[in-house]
Amino acid sequence: MRCLVTGGAGFIGSHTVDALLERGHHVRILDNLSKPVHLKGKPDYLKDDAEFMLGDVRNKADWEKALDGVDTIFHFAAYQDYLPDFSTFFHINAVGTALMYEVAVEKKLDIQKIVVASSQAVYGEGKYRCARCNRIKYPGIRPQEQLARQDWEIKCDECNSTLRPMWTNENRVNPQNQYAISKYTQEITSINLGKRYDIPTSCLRYSIVQGPRQSIYNAYSGACRIFSLSMFFDQAPPVYEDGAQQRDFVNVHDVVAANLTVMESSKADYKVFNVGGGKAYTVAEFARIVSGVFGKQIEPDINGMYRFGDTRNIFSDISHLRELGWRPHFSPKESVEEYVSWLRSMDGIENVLEEAQQKMRKLDVVRDSKQSHDTSGAKYESVSAGSRHRLKIEATH
């Protein structure tokens, strides 16, 4: 097949390019090598066998060139920082996707399949249960005044008891921040225009993807990057809130396998799938996985900081994708080991972490609860105690 991979120089895109080449497909990459993700330009891990095209998904002329002669598209180009330049998310994620379908329809291209990268972020807080009310809840964003007093848990809007997080399936979305809203807009565009113009399309909602090639330069990026950089320089990894928030982590190689699975299956057409790790971890647990990989006994730094707009808990039910024969194979520990090996091959990374933290503080993305809440000298509850309620659900979802 003749495949186009937008964002093919990036993290998930480049690994997908490698897999497609290994299967004998012709691959074209469309990437604008934007900073800070590609701070040093075109990465050296890109294979010479892939055709590289410098271009931007916001430019219709670039789409016309990139789509010439292709029959399969992996659309990974996206803006995914957490900064308050709201319009950029929609220019790239939503308008860029609309242009892809616009060119395909105008040119009457014979596109056999489009695979669109979406995100677990579209769920916001996802699915919860109130034990007291015995009801399923889909809560909204936690208010600033709650976070400022270090009240981290999600509360029932009827009885104010703490809600229990549940595995979240694809049935209901509740996007809360600019990135999530733009990705859901992208999904709606893709699935509905795909149906209308008979262009088979699948959207994949990735959980927290981990592995080598994840840019170290993003101001806002995954825990693997932040914790690994901290450990690399013998610093305590910064853990927001109390460290008891829960996530599921998925290896980039498992994500690539999911990409190829939906590409090859007509049962995936016009559907949306979760792609996750199948097991929930607290952020503090994950920090200790990272410290274990480094062989360092450095406890996480839990100091009352939080990222405004973060979800408290989210982990994805992957049973829908399992029905197509896919399942995750790699553990978070294996993902971290691979990432750390890649990190150690890099140079010029000394100030990356602090510069990113300063940028997020300046833009009021990271906030300090101690500046707006009198703790009266009280000590923070230990992570282990604060995590007693956490779920330990194995990969049966």
On whether residue 141 sits in a domain, the answer given is yes
On whether residue 320 sits in a domain, the answer given is yes
Structure tokens at 376: 């009266």
Please, which residues have CB within 8 angstroms of residue 88's CB and are 6 or more apart in sequence? 79
| CATH number of the CATH domain containing 117 | 3.40.50.720
Count of structural domains, the chain: 1
Mean pLDDT of 335-358: 80
On whether residue 392 sits in a domain, the answer given is no
Mean pLDDT of 166-170: 98
Q: What are phi and psi of 31, to 5 degrees?
A: -150, 140
Q: CA end-to-end span of the chain, whole Å?
A: 32
Mean pLDDT of 299-314: 89
Say if residue 334 is exposed, middle or buried (CB neighbours under 10 Å; 0-12, 13-18, 19+): middle
Q: How many helices (H) and strands (E) does the chain have?
A: 13, 18
In contact, 210 and 118? CB cutoff 8 Å: no
Q: Quote the pLDDT of residue 104.
A: 98
On whether residue 337 sits in a domain, the answer given is yes
What is the DSSP pairing of strand 72-75 with strand 2-6?
parallel
Q: Quote the pLDDT of residue 56.
A: 98
On whether residue 195 sits in a domain, the answer given is yes
In contact, 130 and 121? CB cutoff 8 Å: no
Cα atoms in the 13 Å half-sphere on the side-chain side of 147 = 19
As a 3-state breakdown, the chain gives helix, strand, coil percent values, each rounded to 5, of: 35, 20, 45
C-beta neighbour count of 379 within 10 angstroms:
6
In contact, 244 and 282? CB cutoff 8 Å: yes
Task: Fill in the amino acid letter for 178.
Answer: Q
- Could you report the per-residue pLDDT of 202-218, keeping only the tens digit for each? 999 999 999 999 988 76
Q: Where are the alpha helices (DSSP H) in 23-95?
A: 60-66, 86-89
Q: Which domain range does residue 311 map to?
A: 2-371+381-386
Least confident of 110-114, 127-131, 147-151: 147-151
Quick check: 87 pLDDT over 50? yes
Quick check: 243 pLDDT over 80? yes
Q: Considering the chain, what percentage of its residues have pLDDT values greater than 90?
A: 75
DSSP 123: G
Q: Quote the pLDDT of residue 392.
A: 38
Q: Quote the pLDDT of residue 395.
A: 42
Mean pLDDT of 303-325: 93
Least confident of 1-15, 38-52, 56-70, 257-271: 38-52
Mean pLDDT of 115-138: 97
On whether residue 397 sits in a domain, the answer given is no
Describe the crossing of helices 96-106 and 178-196 by its angle, rounded to 10 degrees: 10
On whether residue 209 sits in a domain, the answer given is yes
* Confidence band for 223, pLDDT divided at 50, 70 and 90: confident
- Could you report the per-residue pLDDT of 377-395, keeping only the tens digit for each? 333 333 333 333 333 333 4
Q: Which helix (H) or strand (E) holds 260?
A: helix 252-264
Of 58, 77, 83, give the one whose Cα is nearest residue 178. 83
On whether residue 100 sits in a domain, the answer given is yes
Mean pLDDT score across all residues of the chain: 89
Q: Quote the pLDDT of residue 167.
A: 98
